[in-house]
Amino acid sequence: MTASAVPAPTPASTGEMSRIRGLKTRRNAELGLLVFAMLLVAAFGATVEANQFDEIRPNFWVPAALIGLLFFGLHMVVRFTAPFADPVLLPSVALLNGIGVAFLRRLDLENAIANKLAVPGFFAETSGRQLAWTLLSLILAAVLLLLLRDHRVVSRYAYTLGLVGIVLMMIPAVLPASISEVNGAKLWIRLGSVSIQPGEFAKLALVSFFAYYLVRKREVLSLASHRVLGIDFPRGRDLGPVLTVWLFSLLVLVFEKDLGTALLYFGLFVVTLYVATERSSWLIIGLILFFGGVYVAYLLGDLVGGPFANFYDRAEVWLDPFSQANYERKSGNSFQLVQGLLGLGTGGLFGTGPGAGSPFKVPEVRTDFIFAGLGEEIGLFGLSALLIVYLLIVERGLHAALAVRDSFGKLVAGGLAFTLGLQVFVILGGITGLIPLTGQTTPFLSAGGSSLMANWLLIAMLLRISDAARRPATSGPERAGGGPKKAPTQLHGAMTEVIKP
Amino acid sequence: MPEFVLTVARFGFLILLWIFVFTVVGVIRRDLFTGGRSKSIVASPRGVGGAVLQGRPAKVKRGKAARQLVVTAGNLAGTRITLGEAPITIGRAEDSTLVITDDFASARHARLVARDGQWFVEDLGSTNGTYLDRGKVSGPTPVPLGVPIRIGRTSLELRP
């Protein structure tokens, strides 16, 4: 089915490149950064082996080369399908993904040494599985880039995607706990040895739906308002959707026992609203609603327990993780949080060095607490570098949102970039004790297929939008004639770009 | 492994990590200024060193070619449209390239068409007319750079 779509855009885009010499695709910069990122992954692997085996074995570079090969594959796909895409996105994500795999391999190595087992192969254990998940994720991302030549096509399936998103989000809540509950949070579908976290995919579908909905309603939402205390408050009936989503996210909080996911969905909606309407009142209303809801849930957890008890426990533990009472709590004690904090503290400024720490003292170090485990080994300096890489990824997403010419793309890119940032904030805030701890995965680092696949799809979408944003605007005739699909009529006026004087 | 090597590896990794971050920032920075710089760097060597006879007319045309349509007055003031080769339609109709919400504009008011790098403005039978500077546009009229095209309360200009 791609055969009909592929030949049309390729000659047009190469013609374009020769016509406009000033605009560079910067694909070679991407390749260079990618090689650099893989060198870093190899250096991490080498240091780990030096610390664990007391020697650097000659094949230390193989995992880095393997994963580098996968990224090179995606790079080639980007080169041909999205030649103007942002050059920084792919290598930055590749670095995080590669460090994640390298750290998981480091855990496997230590495990094997401690149990006097043979050194695990490159495709064995958690790191091998993560490598396989990476391959699958990259294939999905490449397929998305190949099939979706114009991000605006997504807006046609907006309502379907919205429904899919809500269904995916609600499945674990209605399934029996034996299938869906892991460590007290009902976020999973477990079928035998495979477990899927459908919520990870739900956010992608929901972003597309929100963006479409808001492109259609933005005028009503931003123009009709009352001014109270210098802030524009929208009319009651326009508040309907935001209140619905608020209730929905509280329901998720109650049934799935997970503050992080609730915060993610709610924050996502509020920020897309803010981006669509340019009204700060939405942010204020959103924050008040969220904190109000959370505080009520906390009080209810204290008074009635039941579905709110889990959240109450987490909040108590967050308020004072080092108190003896919290450490010995019956349900949800502060052991994890304390071990994570001690791990980070042991690392100090520069860390113990890759492979020299003791990450197995931290529970769940492969998934939720991978940042604590990494933090012990690379220290504050290393962690802040990784955080800046996340920040740059989010910044590039927002940049694509600013530069793309159609409102739907703006909202999708802004929403996706913000979700990624918020997710990092939620898990990192949880680990470091800034907010109550919730079981979110660290994007691209944690072991786990669903998260990796969903986040790579997110990056593929950002690449597609940033390609549209940076592509020179001469593609008008190409779109109308050879382009695969015409823009939906609802997104009219899409090609005008307003720059506020 | 001697302690020294481990320490070098430990700090070396951190330093490399930060070098990566700064390289990424450098790429982003170059990307931000690429538009402004490429004009000055790419355009002048071609004028100096290129084939004189063949290069000159192309260069002159390129130098004068309009690259942007800028709205200078009216509701949409500040809007810029990057010009390609596609014609640009202006009017209140929602499928226009530039949708203007101006009481004096017609649904399909005017059209800008490029021919051999020169842009022509053409009135599409509007009620209140299209003006190039002071004169009313009756047929396809070439639009020089920086001369205002007036449609109702909106004025537009071609910019290099």
**Confidence bin at A8 (pLDDT 50/70/90):** very low
Q: Is A8 part of a structural domain of the chain?
A: yes
**Confidence bin at B64 (pLDDT 50/70/90):** low
Mean pLDDT in residue range A412-431: 92
**Confidence bin at B24 (pLDDT 50/70/90):** very high
- State the residue range of the domain holding A299: 3-473+483-491
B107 at interface of A, judged by CB pairs closer than 8 A = no
Mean pLDDT in residue range A28-54: 91
Check: CB of residue A323 under 8 Å from CB of residue A20: no
Q: Is A335 part of a structural domain of the chain?
A: yes
Confidence check: pLDDT of A131 > 70: yes
Q: Is A356 part of a structural domain of the chain?
A: yes
**Confidence bin at B85 (pLDDT 50/70/90):** confident
Separation between Cα atoms, residue A289 and residue A279, nearest integer Å: 16
**Confidence bin at B32 (pLDDT 50/70/90):** confident
* Between B103 and A461, residue with greater pLDDT: A461
A350 at interface of B, judged by CB pairs closer than 8 A = yes
Report the pLDDT value the prediction gives residue A238, as an integer from 0 to 100.
67
Mean pLDDT in residue range A374-383: 92
Q: How far is B145 from chain A (nearest CA, A)?
A: 19
* Between A285 and A401, residue with greater pLDDT: A401
Mean pLDDT in residue range A242-246: 69
Report the pLDDT value the prediction gives residue A237, as an integer from 0 to 100.
67
Report the pLDDT value the prediction gives residue A136, as an integer from 0 to 100.
93
Bridge partners (DSSP) listed for residue B149: B132, B156
**pLDDT > 70 fraction of chain A, expressed in percent and rounded:** 81
Q: Is A500 part of a structural domain of the chain?
A: no
Separation between Cα atoms, residue A96 and residue A424, nearest integer Å: 12
The winner for highest mean pLDDT among A96-105, A180-189, B70-79, B124-133 is A96-105
Report H helices in B33-118: 34-49, 52-64
Minimum mean pLDDT range among A2-6, A237-241, A295-299, A368-372: A2-6
Report the pLDDT value the prediction gives residue A458, as an integer from 0 to 100.
94
Report the pLDDT value the prediction gives residue B74, as an integer from 0 to 100.
81
How high is the mean pLDDT of chain A? 80
Mind giving me the DSSP string for A143-177? HHHHH-SSGGGGGGGHHHHHHHHHHHHHHHHHS-H
**pLDDT > 90 fraction of chain A, expressed in percent and rounded:** 27
Q: What ipTM describes this predicted complex?
A: 0.82
Q: Is A85 part of a structural domain of the chain?
A: yes
B127 at interface of A, judged by CB pairs closer than 8 A = no
Confidence check: pLDDT of B63 > 70: no
**Confidence bin at A223 (pLDDT 50/70/90):** low
Q: How far is B160 from chain A (nearest CA, A)?
A: 14
Q: Is A498 part of a structural domain of the chain?
A: no
* Between B134 and B1, residue with greater pLDDT: B134
A378 interaction partners in chain B (CB closer than 8 Å): 13-14, 17
Structural domain count of chain A: 1
Check: CB of residue A185 under 8 Å from CB of residue A179: no
B35 at interface of A, judged by CB pairs closer than 8 A = yes
Contact B12 A43 (CB under 8 A): yes
Report the pLDDT value the prediction gives residue A5, as an integer from 0 to 100.
38
Q: Is A478 part of a structural domain of the chain?
A: no
A40 interaction partners in chain B (CB closer than 8 Å): 13, 16-17, 20
Separation between Cα atoms, residue A458 and residue A75, nearest integer Å: 16
What digits encode the pLDDT tens for the residues A64-81? 999 999 999 999 999 999
Report the pLDDT value the prediction gives residue B73, as an integer from 0 to 100.
83
Check: CB of residue B146 under 8 Å from CB of residue B158: yes
What string of H, E and C letters represents the secondary structure of A302-352?
Answer: HHCCHHHHHHHHHHHHHHCCCCHHHHCCCCCCCHHHHHHHHHHHHHCCCCC
Confidence check: pLDDT of A42 > 90: yes
Give the distance between the most distant pair of CA atoms in chain B: 87
Q: Is A130 part of a structural domain of the chain?
A: yes
